[in-house]
Amino acid sequence: MRNIIRKIFSNWWKSKTQVFNAMLVAVGLIEANTGEFRSLVGDDNYGFFIVAIGVMGWYLRTVTTKSMKDK
């Protein structure tokens, strides 16, 4: 278990994809506990925002050129 955690969190800040995902986790935790994010974005734009998150994650994955071991 310790090796898995070390592998997941070692050098995560060097990856744009993992930094983006960490920010997404933080926003998700805030939304789950307060519900403020949806009201901030608005009900009309919430679906678009979710799609934009997926597109951004997809884009970041396509620009990945090195594995985390190589960074």
Ordered per-residue pLDDT tens for the chain, 71 residues: 777 777 766 777 777 888 888 888 888 888 888 878 778 888 888 888 888 888 998 888 888 776 656 65
Q: Which of 61, 62, 52, 5 is nearest to 24 (CA)?
A: 52
Q: Which of 9, 8, 17 is nearest to 58 (CA)?
A: 17
Phi, psi of 31 (to 5 degrees): -65, -40
Q: Quick check: pTM over 0.85?
A: no
> Which tokens hold the place of 35?
């519900």
